[in-house]
Chain A
Amino acid sequence: MLIQFVLVAILLGALLMTWKRAKQNVISFGEAFAWSVLWIGAGVVVLLPQTTTLVANFFGVGRGSDFVLYAAVVTLFVLIFKIFISLDRMERNLTEMVRKEALRDLPEQHE
């Protein structure tokens, strides 16, 4: 199927790029390995969609493609929440800077 062909081509490209970057020492060997596992895993899911059913059944979900969708929603939720938290941290750091600036000219007057 065309969609499989396109997806596998993209994933192969990603795999090649990952190892090219590893050779250039942009990412570490461990990172390259982790990414490779992700790309190859995605390739397996694309070429043999029925494998997802195995995993899905393990989690009690009937159909493989449903399971992929559920997993994607959960993953996105976690990622977005992490962004919220890091934004909150950035806001606090910003406040800290603004505060330092506001207090800079205040004379020390401790008794």
Chain B
Amino acid sequence: MRIIAVIPAYNEEKRIAETIEKLQPLVDGIIVVDDGSLDKTADAAKAAGAIVLRHALNRGQGAGLRTGTEAALRLGADIIVHIDADGQHDPSFIPALVEPIKAGEADVVFGSRFMGLAPVNMPLRRKMLLRGARLFNTFAVGIPNTVTDPQSGLRAFKASAAEKIDFKQDRMAHTSEILRLATRSDLRWKEVPVEVRYTADTLAKGQFGGGPFRIVWQLFLGMFNK
């Protein structure tokens, strides 16, 4: 099975190479979507051996993931893995993430930070926000509350599932959107425990950088633009 990792990257020239190097032994191809970076992210990624696509303008993480996913499908991926550029996801969890797809048990697998493995250095504020997000997802977005991680950025799709999940949110709201589309379709989904490492660096650019209210607002607007 051909596994292709998709990394959306915005101004990550310092960290992208290390992420790519750690990923290389675990996947068959790496696509970096340089989302209109102002630094040398594209060059750094190319030098590290990734396939690099460039957004001429910054369009957001969701947009980057979508571009990368379409590219991975074109390149004949059987499994597509979404991963963050900043190194907060430990690539060593990728085999566990794709295992249910390889075994034919699932079509979509989400990495969850709340399934036993304690996140390293997760601040209390972030924990509370995520708890709130989970409630919001259940009642407002309609995502089953059996989903333990409302904002996981580490996920794997079977190619057929990636074609089916038609996510359109360009910024941070794509996480909730993908969860909703996956859990409401006839696709088989699963969560596996992953560990996430928080550093001052990754926190500065975290999921809630734009503010949770913006995510809610974007999801709301999205309802009117199908």
Contact = CB atoms under 8 A, between A and B. Distances in A.
Contacts of B168: 92
B74 A108 contact: yes
B75 A109 contact: yes
B174 to A, nearest CB: 11
Of A88, A92, A95, A110, most B-chain CB atoms within 10 Å: A95
A111 B4 CA distance: 15
Question: Interface SS of chain A: helix, strand, loop or mixed?
Answer: helix
Contact of A95 (B53, B75, B170): B170
A20 interface: no
Among A94, A95, A102, residue most surrounded by chain B Cβ atoms (within 10 Å): A102
Contacts of B74: 103, 106, 108-110
Determine the interface band of chain B, counting residues with CB < 8 A from chain A: 20 to 34
Interface in B69-83: 70-71, 74-76
Given A88-B221, A102-B67, A103-B53, A95 B59 contact: yes
Interface residues of A, number: 18
Given A99-B70, A109-B74, 6 more contacts: A92-B168, A95-B63, A98-B56, A99-B59, A99-B66, A102-B54
Interface of B: 33, 36, 53-57, 59-60, 63, 66-67, 70-71, 74-76, 168, 170, 218, 221-222, 224-225
Interface of A: 84-85, 88-89, 91-92, 94-95, 98-99, 101-103, 106, 108-111
20 contacts: A84-B221, A88-B221, A88-B222, A92-B170, A94-B57, A94-B59, A98-B55, A98-B57, A98-B59, A98-B67, A99-B63, A99-B67, A101-B56, A102-B67, A103-B67, A103-B71, A106-B74, A106-B75, A108-B74, A110-B74
7 tightest A-B CB contacts, nearest first: A102-B53, A111-B76, A95-B59, A88-B221, A95-B63, A99-B67, A85-B224
